[in-house]
Amino acid sequence: MKIFIMGFGAVGKGVVKVFSIKGNNLKQKYGLDFEIVAVTDTSGTALCDKGLDPDLLLNTKEKTGRVCDYPEYGIPGLSSPEALSKVEYDCLVEVTPTNIEDGEPAKTHMLKAMSDKKDVVTSNKGPLALCFKELVGTAKNNNVQFKFEASVGGAMPIINFAHENLSGCDIESIFGILNGTTNYILSRMAKEGSSYEQTLKEAQEMGIAETDPTQDVEGTDAACKIVILANSIMNMDVSLGDVEINGISKITPESIFLAKKEGYLIKLIAEASLDTLEVSPRLVKEGSPLSVEGTMNVATLKTDLAEDITVVGKGAGSVETASAILSDLISIWKSKK
Residue 34 CA to residue 3 CA, distance in Å, equals 7
Instruction: Look up residue 106 and give its amino acid.
Output: A
Please check the confidence at residue 337 and state whether its pLDDT lies above 80: no
How high is the pLDDT of residue 7? Answer: 96
Please tell me which residue, 155 or 255, carries the higher pLDDT value.
Answer: 255
Cα-based distances in Å from 132 to 24, 40, 243: 35, 24, 15
The answer to whether 146 and 136 are in contact (CB under 8 A) is: yes
CA–CA separation, 33 vs 24, rounded Å? 8
Instruction: From 323, 162, 321, select the one nearest 228 (Cα to Cα).
Output: 162
CATH 3.40.50.720 boundaries in the chain: 2-155+318-336
Residue type, 122: T
User: What amino acid is encoded at 278 in this protein?
Assistant: E
Parts of the chain belonging to CATH 3.30.360.10: 163-314
Give the model's pLDDT for residue 314.
85
Residue 41 reports pLDDT greater than 90: yes
- The backbone torsions φ and ψ at residue 307, rounded to the nearest 5 degrees and listed phi first, read 60, -135
Q: Catalytic one among 13, 118, 125, 225?
A: 225
- CATH, domain range 2-155+318-336: 3.40.50.720
Query: What local confidence, expressed as pLDDT, does residue 206 receive?
Result: 87
| SS3 at position 290 | coil
Residue 23 has pLDDT above 90, yes or no: no
Instruction: Single out the residue of 311, 242, 297 nearest to residue 268, CA to CA.
Output: 297
The rounded distance, in Å, linking the Cα atoms of 120 and 6 is 11
Number of C-beta neighbours around residue 211 at 10 A: 6
Question: Catalytic: 61?
Answer: no
Dist CA 89 CA 203 (whole Å): 39
CA 78 from centroid of its chain's CA atoms: 26
Q: What is the CATH number of domain 163-314?
A: 3.30.360.10
CA quadruple 304, 306, 308, 310: dihedral sign = negative
- Tell me what pLDDT residue 62 has: 96
pLDDT in tens, 201-248: 999 998 888 889 999 999 999 999 999 999 999 999 999 999 999 999
Q: Are 188 and 267 in contact (CB under 8 A)?
A: no
Closest CA to 127 of 110, 103, 151, 109: 103
CA Rg, the chain, in Å?
Answer: 20
Can you say whether the dihedral through the CA atoms of 164, 225, 42, 213 is positive or negative? negative
Give pLDDT, residue 61: 97
Kindly report, residue by residue over 64-122, the tens digit of the pLDDT. 999 999 999 999 999 988 999 999 999 999 999 999 999 999 999 999 999 999 999 99
Give the pLDDT score at 78: 94
- 227 neighbors 129 (Cβ within 8 angstroms): yes
Could you give the residue ranges of the DSSP H alpha helices within 125-208? 125-141, 159-164, 180-192, 196-205
| Residue 67 to residue 57: CA distance in whole angstroms | 7
> Count of CB atoms within 10 A of residue 241's CB?
9
Q: 301 forms bridges with which residues in the sheet?
A: 174, 309
Q: Give me the DSSP letters along 253-281.
A: HHHHHHHHHTTEEEEEEEEEESS-EEEEE
Q: Which residues have a Cβ under 8 Å from the Cβ of 85 and sit 6 or more positions away?
A: none
110: amino acid identity, one letter: M
User: What distance in Å separates the CA atoms of residue 76 and residue 70, rounded to the nearest whole number?
Assistant: 10
b/e map 95-130, b = 16+ CB within 10 Å: bbebbbeebebbbebbbbbbeeebbbbbbbbbbbbb
The model's pLDDT over 136-181, given as tens digits with 9 standing for 90+, comes to 999 999 999 999 999 998 889 999 999 999 999 999 999 999 999 9
